Amino acid sequence: MPLTSFNFSSLAALLLAAVPLAASAQGASGPIKVGLMLPYSGTYAALGNAIENGFKLYVQEQGGKLAGREIQYFKVDDESEPPKATDNVNKLIKRDNVDVLVGTVHSGVALAMAKAAKDNNTLLVIPNAGADAITGPMCGANIVRSSFSNWQPGYAMGVVAAQKGVKRAMTITWNYAAGAESTKGFTEGLEKGGGKVVKDMNLPFPNVEFQALLTEIAAQKPDAVYAFFAGGGAVKFVKDYAAAGLNKTIPLYGPGFLTDGTLEAQGAAAQNMLTTLHYADNLDTPKNNAFRKAYAIAYKSQPDVYAVQGYDAAQILANGLKAVGGDLTKRDQLAAAMRKTPVDSPRGKFTLSAAGNPVQDIYLREVKGNNNEFRSIAVKALADPARGCKL
Ligand code: BEZ
């Protein structure tokens, strides 16, 4: 049957009605599309899950809405694989058309995400990866971090090690941005206090064949070892270090990733270890106590630093959305408010630097049972130097 003029005008009316609807889903009403790009497999899988849990806990506490808008999640498992990162992030940006990206854990993957976020002017909230360059030369008005720069906990541990009289240290890590930058931060802090790193050692990510390197440590007999590992690799390293008997004579230090979310699996091998981080399990504040209670009820497990960073990533997004009444068309205002609003975190209140990185206290913690217990503030209100950031 031929189309009549009535059919054409009905079609046109329908199309016209559809355009503002589609536009408003991206703008001032409808669900906000959040793209979670995290590791759900591999050595960092537990970290990715904890971040997602923390993020969703905060959203649930707001009744499932931020600034009055529902949140719709899109998920990609990045597998902590940098070569797949650009394709993976483009699934969220171009296929799913997300309003904001949240990710990821691995610095190498996050560097590709930051580039894509800049190229497409997509909002990016980083809930872990500490790659110094993201809040350094690559910094952007649309990018913020709820976590740390790799330099921060490393530098603080170097300061503490020097205070403890360490003169000769060795470092050991995976050979990628996070390991290199964390050990560099440690070296800077240690040298400032008069100590020296006599040897840096590494192995490819995510290898866990540590024996030859442990033999080298035993031969060199440094005053202390600084190690950056996290997730499954951290569990294996701390156990191997103890099994080799090295923990009896050479203190093992690290950023808190070495013992966060890992203690049940590390057991006796981790007891009494000292690490530095922006969170400690037993911070006795109303905010931390409420967070830990709510997390335990929701997920039947204890939160760790990664859960805190996920929770705060959602808070930072909420701060931006509240400032514009949930209207995503006011992008620049939203991004500026994410940066400018102080964050009331389970770790303690913190602000974001001009480069978009937390300015925060770094704590010295000691492992007791399954907890990383607060001992002291290693460095107060530590800001990343943001070398090379021009904003
Ligand atoms: C990173 O790749 O930046 C990273 C991974 C795990 C823990 C901390 C940092």
Evaluate: CB of 258 within 6 angstroms of ligand 1. Answer: no
Q: Which of 347, 349, 182, 231 is nearest to 278 (CA)?
A: 347
Residue 288 domain flag: yes
The verdict on 144 and 155 lying in the same domain is no
Residue 37 domain flag: yes
Residue 54 domain flag: yes
pLDDT in tens, 61-87: 999 999 999 999 999 999 999 999 999
The verdict on 134 and 37 lying in the same domain is yes
The verdict on 75 and 155 lying in the same domain is no
DSSP secondary structure of 162-180: HHTT--EEEEEEESSHHHH
The verdict on 260 and 325 lying in the same domain is no
User: pLDDT in tens for each of the 391 residues of the chain?
Assistant: 333 333 433 433 343 333 333 333 467 789 999 999 999 999 999 999 999 999 999 999 999 999 999 999 999 999 999 999 999 999 999 999 999 999 999 999 999 999 999 999 999 999 999 999 999 999 999 999 999 999 999 999 999 999 999 999 999 999 999 999 999 999 999 999 999 999 999 999 999 999 999 999 999 999 999 999 999 999 999 999 999 999 999 999 999 999 999 999 999 999 999 999 999 999 999 999 999 999 999 999 999 999 999 999 999 999 999 999 999 999 999 999 999 999 999 999 999 999 999 999 999 999 999 999 999 999 999 999 999 999 8
Evaluate: CB of 88 within 6 angstroms of ligand 1. Answer: no
CATH number of the structural domain spanning residue 248 = 3.40.50.2300
Find the farthest-apart pair of alpha carbons in the chain and give their distance in angstroms, rounded: 91
Query: Ligand 1: which of 257, 258, 259, 306 to mutate, most ligand atoms within 8 Å of CB?
Result: 257
Reported in sequence order, the residue ranges of 207-347 that DSSP labels E, i.e. its strands, are 224-228, 252-255, 274-277, 343-345
Rounded to the nearest angstrom, the distance between the alpha carbon of 257 and the centre of ligand 1 is: 8
Domain total in the chain: 2
The verdict on 102 and 157 lying in the same domain is no
The verdict on 166 and 272 lying in the same domain is yes
The verdict on 223 and 311 lying in the same domain is no
The verdict on 288 and 271 lying in the same domain is no
pLDDT in tens, 19-51: 333 333 467 789 999 999 999 999 999 999 999
Residue 323 domain flag: yes
Rounded to the nearest angstrom, the distance between the alpha carbon of 232 and the centre of ligand 1 is: 12
Rounded to the nearest angstrom, the distance between the alpha carbon of 145 and the centre of ligand 1 is: 13
The verdict on 345 and 272 lying in the same domain is no
Residue 314 domain flag: yes
The verdict on 225 and 188 lying in the same domain is yes
Query: Ligand 1: which of 150, 258, 277, 384 to mutate, most ligand atoms within 8 Å of CB?
Result: 150
Residue 192 domain flag: yes
The verdict on 86 and 138 lying in the same domain is yes
The verdict on 45 and 61 lying in the same domain is yes
Strand pairing of 358-368 and 274-277? antiparallel
Strand-pair partners of 351: 359
Residue 367 domain flag: no
Domain, as residue range, for 205: 151-277
Evaluate: CB of 230 within 6 angstroms of ligand 1. Answer: yes
Of all atoms in ligand 1, which is nearest to the CA of residue 182? 9
The pTM of this model reads 0.93
CB 171 within 8 A of CB 186: yes
Of all atoms in ligand 1, which is nearest to the CA of residue 105? 5
